[in-house]
Amino acid sequence: MQRRDFLKMSATMSAAAVVTGCGSESAQTPPPEVLPVEEKLNWSACLVNCGSNCPVRVYSRDGVITRIETDFYDNDEYGQHQIRACLRGRSLRKRVYAPDRLKYPMKRIGARGEGKFERISWDEAFSHVASELSRLRGQYGPESTHFTYNSGAGYHFTGKQCLFRLMNIMGGYMGTYGDYSWAQLYKAAQYTYGSASYGWKGSSNSEMTNSDFVLLVGHNPSEIRMSGSGESYDYLKIIQAKQADRAQNGGKFKTVIIDPRYTDSALGKEDQWVPVRPGTDAALMEALAYEIINNNWHDQGFLDTYCQGFDENTMPEGYGYEHSYKAHILGDAADGVAKTPEWAAPICGVPADTIRILAKEFAEASAPFVHIAASLSRQAAGENNTRACYMLPLLVGAVGRAGTNNGALCSGASLSSPKMPTLGNLSKVNKKISFFSWTQAIEDGENMTVLKDGVVLPGDELDENGDGKLGTNIKAIINYAGNALINQHADTSKTREILRDDSKCELIVVIDNWMTPSAEYADIILPDISWLEAEDDLINQSYAAGDTASLIQISSSVGPMWECRDAYDIALGLARAWGVEGQFTEGKTKDQWRTEFYESAQAGTQRFANPLPSKQEMMSKGVYRQYLPDGSYVVLKDFRDNPTGNPLGTPSGKIEIFSSELQKMADTWELAAGDVITALPKYVPTWDGFEVNDNIDGEQEKADKYPLQLHGYHTKGRAHSSYHNVPWLREAVQDAVWMNPMDAAERGLSSDDMVQVFNDRGVIELPVKVTPRIMTGVTALGQGAWLKFNSDASVDVGGCLNTLTSQRPTPVSKGNGQHTNRVEIRKA
Ligand SMILES: Nc1nc2c(c(=O)[nH]1)N[C@H]1C(S)=C(S)[C@@H](COP(=O)(O)OP(=O)(O)OC[C@H]3O[C@@H](n4cnc5c(=O)[nH]c(N)nc54)[C@H](O)[C@@H]3O)O[C@H]1N2
Ligand SMILES: Nc1nc2c(c(=O)[nH]1)N[C@H]1C(S)=C(S)[C@@H](COP(=O)(O)OP(=O)(O)OC[C@H]3O[C@@H](n4cnc5c(=O)[nH]c(N)nc54)[C@H](O)[C@@H]3O)O[C@H]1N2
Ligand code: SF4
Ligand SMILES: [Mo]
């Protein structure tokens, strides 16, 4: 019995117990039989993957959490402000005590996926997992073990690092590249700028202060960067200051948001909302480019010096003007089509006049700041969408100068704090698949190839064409702090069929806190502690916390609950079963590891006037913060200042509008019908897109059957699927499919009607939200609701978007086009 009743005073109760309550009440009420135990305060944090990590104050009495509060730093001035948790972090108590908490190790007793388990001991669990993994790895090689994507718990010490470390000691596991967040964006940046980091480490938010035109393409900071330290706050404060300056002093400034939905980042904060059809931003960008080039507003000097492929001046050898970007836009290329506003308007849904005005205003801006969200890369041709948007700042030379951004996600300020070393050097596995192709690798990994499936193999396994086979199926899965085993991966019905067959993937171990949809497919469930039970960990602000960097010192007075164990102890238990404990611990205790990490983080802050204080002080202070510790950052400034001295990582050392590497892939890769890889950033029709792709059989019939586009978005009601099981949040943020009133009227639907949203892949049932905040022909749904199939698995009454999404990978990154869907909607 772990949930201790704090009203029953224990013999060991602290002498400092106090009576609380107001005097008049206690005068009337007889004194309580027992005195309440003094409330304790510990700092902890929300470690979910929203890009931020917010500190929370956890109050407890006798091992039971009584309330959660956020940062209370008293100097709450912007720049030195409180890091306030959002609605999710504030509901953490409900999450820790959720009725579906996993409390004991369990073993599957029914068919896989049926959700029937029995309690077992930790010893049984460790010996079963160790022996099954040994058997499968012996038979099929270490690369037959796979970690599904996992972003649920951002610890530095006791997180996934411990499991990776152990498996590397044991010879490794299947390598992966990319991730559900940014797979296509990484590739777009890599081929354009020579490094994936140019896609997600753009200028800092602070540079918006120096800009006169902020253009957010699909970016929605008010909903996806909600933390009080984070980008939403930077965005709000900067925009407010710029708008106040405009009102008072006539300063020039404009904010434009391009999004099919009128998002929370708009709501009056924007100057203009430009609704665009999902997956068609590239067409809009080409028309903007047409206006800019045709009117000679482009920066020819910049394009000549810094870029490859704009026009005949900078084409790689063997390619003439007709292969250049300029020729493609002006109609001088093989297709003969000029990408005018009139050409783009019927595709992207933005009126031609709106495009013309936007192009002019953008070109007239002296420092445009462009921020392109990952959302449009999570579309079927996500790589091309993103590259097409990169063109906007390039055309006007708005890169590497104050107040500009290359289109990347903003760099977050950061303080480094070490993580448990994963010992990747011990791995004997030298093969990789895309993070998204693991279901394919369960079914037919053996026959997955380099040129068809984007498998990465070592040089000596490639044939003369650069091709080769993966040669292994995935036979064992360790799913730690991830719900992508089914819920967050595409096409839940297909995934369900693959996982249910336990002769394919023979072992599934799930390590989680709750009985999630993924946990239902486990053979063995291992219960982890929750963050609020974590004893001691110093964690940093995560990767997208805006301009404020921080370190948070976690401690706990409530854990571990039930029989839960942290990831370090789980890895240690397995290490013992395998006889590699010494290698795993390096002879150090947990405390010794933590002290080392703390001291290393402390050393990293010596450059500041106020370095990280002692651990003891941090235990009560909780948070250490630095606003813009490395100053305001302008991406590509070094390259702009000295392009020959600081060449980029592309083959030409320049920004590649025409990518030589993509041209090579276009010439050699085997693509599914209808997919293309293009050396130039181009708008291309896709599967399930707005425009019917004539190169795919049956697309027209599908478009007729499923006339509505459906895209996902990351809702404030959850972080992915995390926090779905908190009833407060379900009440606060309704899960409903957004639909324009005109589309609703056509179908006789009103707000809150229960509807079925369906396509060839599945059916989900949930309420509809009828709102002019979404353009016609387009519907949208917050992703992450928990999958809940009805008894014959024909309808997902949980409303999980992935019941409708496709496992078809995107052409270049072999990533997830999960925002690309066609559906129809009817009354349930
Ligand atoms: N349709 C659609 N699907 C998507 C997306 C989309 O836009 N549309 N977005 C994708 C993106 S960008 C991402 S990043 C992925 C995210 O996918 P995931 O990485 O799977 O993230 P979550 O859904 O938050 O799941 C986290 C899991 O960690 C568990 N967890 C939380 N805390 C702990 C802990 O302390 N210990 C352990 N052991 N477990 C814990 C939670 O219970 C949950 O099961 O989803 C992707 N899926
Ligand atoms: N509250 C909350 N915050 C989160 C997360 C969460 O689950 N919940 N997840 C975190 C993670 S891991 C990630 S990767 C990020 C995701 O960050 P993003 O990928 O940027 O988030 P999305 O919500 O998918 O998309 C942002 C906006 O793009 C719009 N959009 C969709 N398709 C298109 C398109 O084709 N073109 C244009 N122009 N707009 C489009 C959507 O309407 C949405 O408003 O968010 C992070 N933050
Ligand atoms: S979900 Fe993100 S913004 Fe909200 S409390 Fe957690 S870390 Fe902070
Ligand atoms: Mo993500």
Pocket test for ligand 3, best of 52, 53, 723, 729 (most atoms within 8 A of CB): 52
Q: Measured between alpha carbons, how far is 629 from 626 in angstroms, rounded to an integer?
A: 5
DSSP label at residue 810:
P
Report the C-alpha gap between 695 and 674 in whole angstroms. Answer: 5
**Residue 356, helix vs strand vs coil:** helix
Nearest atom in ligand 3 to 70's CA: 5
As a whole number of angstroms, the distance between CA 688 and CA 304 comes to: 38
Among 44, 48, 49, which is best to mutate for testing ligand 3, by the most ligand atoms less than 8 A from CB?
A: 48
Give the whole-angstrom CA distance, residue 319 versus residue 324.
8
Side chain identity, residue 194: G
Run of H or E including 783: none
Residues with Cβ within 8 Å of residue 701, at least 6 apart in sequence = none
Task: Report the distance separating Cα 644 and Cα 648, nearest Å.
Answer: 9
Q: Is 720 in the pocket of ligand 1 (CB under 6 A)?
A: yes
Partnered with residue 202 across adjacent β-strands are 410
Ligand nearest to the CA of 718: 2
Regarding the beta carbon of 821 and ligand 2, being less than 6 Å apart is answered: no
Q: Comparing C-alpha atoms, which of 653, 656, 634 is closest to residue 645?
A: 653
Could you tell me if the CB of 204 is within 6 A of ligand 2? no
Q: Are 479 and 510 in contact (CB under 8 A)?
A: yes
The answer to whether residues 552 and 562 touch, using CB atoms and an 8 Å cutoff, is no
Which of 226, 532, 714 is the pocket-test mutation for ligand 3 (most atoms within 8 Å of CB)?
226
For residue 267, give both structure tokens.
């709501």
Please report the pLDDT score of residue 37 as a whole number: 79
What are the angstrom distances between the C-alpha of 509 and each of 207, 405, 476? 45, 43, 8
Contact of 523 with 112, CB cutoff 8 Å: yes
Answer whether CATH 3.30.930.10 is correct for domain 197-412+635-665. no
pLDDT of residue 624: 97
Q: Please work out whether the CB of residue 263 comes within 6 Å of at least one atom of ligand 2.
A: yes
Ligand 1 center–CA 481 separation, angstroms: 7
Task: Give the ligand 2 atom nearest the CA of 86.
Answer: 1
What pTM did the predictor assign? 0.95
211 ligand 1 Cβ < 6 A: no
Q: How far is the CA of 373 from the centre of ligand 2 (A)?
A: 7
Verify whether ligand 1 is closer than 6 Å to residue 479 (CB atom): no
Distance 374 CA to ligand 4 centre (A): 9
Rounded percentage of the chain residues whose pLDDT exceeds 70: 96
Q: Closest by alpha carbon to 676, among 114, 459, 684?
A: 684
**Ligand 1 binding pocket includes 151 (Cβ within 6 Å):** yes
> How far, rounded to the nearest angstrom, does the alpha carbon of residue 799 sit from its chain's CA centroid?
20
Shortest-distance Cα residue to atom 46 of ligand 2? 50
C-alpha 766/C-alpha 171 separation (Å) is: 46
For the stretch 310-333, pLDDT in tens is: 999 999 999 999 999 999 999 999
Cα–Cα distance list, 243 to 78, 249, 252, 269, 363 (Å): 17, 10, 9, 9, 20
How far, in Å, is the centroid of ligand 4 from the Cα of 410?
15
Ligand 2 pocket mutation pick from 375, 710, 774, 821 by most atoms within 8 angstroms of CB: 375
Q: Whose CA is nearest to atom 22 of ligand 2?
A: 713
Closest by Cα among 260, 202, 289 to 379: 260
Q: Count other C-beta atoms under 10 Å from residue 345's C-beta.
A: 18
Residue whose CB lies within 8 A of the most ligand 2 atoms, among 224, 771, 778, 818, for a mutation test: 224
Rounded distance from Cα 135 to ligand 4 centre (Å): 34
DSSP 8-state assignment for residue 809: B
Number of other residues whose CB lies within 10 A of the CB of residue 3:
11
What's the burial of 78, exposed, middle or buried (CB within 10 Å: 0-12/13-18/19+)? Answer: middle
Residue owning tokens 């504030």: 90
The closest alpha carbon to 818, from 485, 374, 457, belongs to: 374
Q: Is the CB of 379 under 6 A from ligand 2?
A: yes
Q: Which two tokens stand for residue 735?
A: 């899960």
> How many angstroms separate the alpha carbon of residue 85 from the centre of ligand 3?
5
The correct answer on CATH 2.40.40.20 for the domain covering 706-827 is yes
Tell me which residues of the chain have a pLDDT lower than 50: 1-27
- The closest residue, in CA terms, to atom 29 on ligand 1 is 481
- CATH code, residues 99-131+138-175+429-529+564-581: 3.40.50.740
Q: Estimate to the nearest angstrom the gap between the alpha carbon of 634 and the chain centroid.
A: 24
Residue 313 near residue 651, CB atoms below 8 Å = no
Which two structure tokens, joined as six digits, stand for 800? 């999980």
| Bridge partners of residue 402, in order along the sequence | none
Residues 211 and 647: their CA atoms lie apart, in Å, by 26
Write the residue with the smallest CA distance to atom 44 of ligand 1: 483
Report the sign of the C-alpha dihedral through residues 651, 654, 660, 666, in that order: positive
Q: What ligand has the least distance to the C-alpha of 711? A: 2
Q: For residue 567, give the amino acid letter.
A: A
719 pocket-lining for ligand 2 (C-beta < 6 Å): yes
Nearest residue (by CA) to ligand 1, atom 10, is 180
Beta-ladder partners of 626: 549
DSSP line for 81-144: ------HHHHTHHHHHT-TTB--S-EEE-SSTTS--EEE--HHHHHHHHHHHHHHHHHHH-GGG
Any ligand 1 atom below 6 A from CB of 152 = yes
CB 470 within 8 A of CB 175: no
Contacts 24+ apart (CB under 8 A), 356-361: 356/291, 358/256, 358/272, 358/274, 358/288, 359/287, 359/288, 359/291, 359/292, 359/295, 359/297, 360/291, 360/295, 360/297, 361/213, 361/254
Q: Which of 234, 117, 629 is nearest to 416 (CA)?
A: 629
For the stretch 66-102, pLDDT in tens is 999 999 988 899 999 999 999 999 999 999 999 999 9
Q: For ligand 2, is residue 279 a contact (CB within 6 Å)? A: yes
Q: Structural domain boundaries of the chain?
A: 1-36, 99-131+138-175+429-529+564-581, 197-412+635-665, 706-827
CB atoms inside a 10 Å sphere around CB 271: 17
Quick one: tokens of 236?
Answer: 């709000």
Lining ligand 3 with CB less than 6 A are 46, 48, 50, 52-54, 85-86, 88-89, 226-227, 719
Give the pLDDT of residue 5: 38
* Alpha-carbon span 526 to 107, nearest angstrom: 9
Give the type of residue at 146.
Answer: H
Atom of ligand 3 nearest to the CA of 89: 5
Spacing, Cα 718 to ligand 1 middle (Å): 10
Pick from 379, 482, 496, 479: which is nearest to 796 by CA?
Answer: 496
Residue from 54, 151, 724 whose mutation best tests the ligand 3 pocket (most atoms within 8 A of CB): 54
Closest ligand, as measured to the CA of 150? 1
Residue 713 CA: which ligand 1 atom is closest? 7
The ligand that comes nearest to the alpha carbon of residue 230 is 3
For residue 59, what are the β-bridge partners? Answer: 41, 67
Atom from ligand 1 closest to the CA of residue 802: 1
Alpha-carbon distance 126 to 794, whole Å?
37
Ligand 2 pocket check for 371: Cβ under 6 Å:
no
What is the distance between the alpha carbons of residues 50 and 333, in angstroms, rounded to a whole number? 43
Residue 44's DSSP bridge partners are 56
Question: Distance from the CA of 418 to the center of ligand 2, in angstroms?
Answer: 29
Find the angle CA(657)-CA(310)-CA(279) to the nearest 5 degrees: 50
- Which helix (H) or strand (E) is 245 found in, with range? helix 231-249
Protein residue whose Cα sits closest to atom 27 of ligand 2: 218
Structure tokens at 558: 């409530």
Q: Which atom of ligand 3 is nearest to the CA of 85?
A: 5
pLDDT (0 to 100) of residue 75 = 87
SS3 528: strand
Q: Residue 585's CB: how many other CB atoms inside 10 A?
A: 16
State the ligand closest to the CA atom of 232: 3
Determine which helix (DSSP H) or strand (DSSP E) holds 762, and give its type and residue range: strand 762-770
Burial of 439 from C-beta contacts in 10 A (0-12 / 13-18 / 19+): buried
Beta carbons within 8 Å of 797's beta carbon, 6+ residues apart: 764, 765, 788, 789, 790
DSSP β-ladder status, 432-434 and 40-46? unpaired
Confirm or reject: Cβ of 405 under 6 Å from ligand 2: no
pLDDT attached to residue 32 = 60
The whole-number pLDDT of residue 30 equals 62
Query: Rounded to the nearest 10 degrees, how much is the dihedral formed by the CA atoms of 487, 489, 491, 495?
Result: -80
Instruction: Supply the residue whose CA is at minimum distance from atom 13 of ligand 2.
Output: 181
Give residue 181 CA to ligand 4 midpoint distance, Å.
3
Report how far residue 237's alpha carbon sits from residue 14's, in angstroms, rounded to the nearest whole number: 46
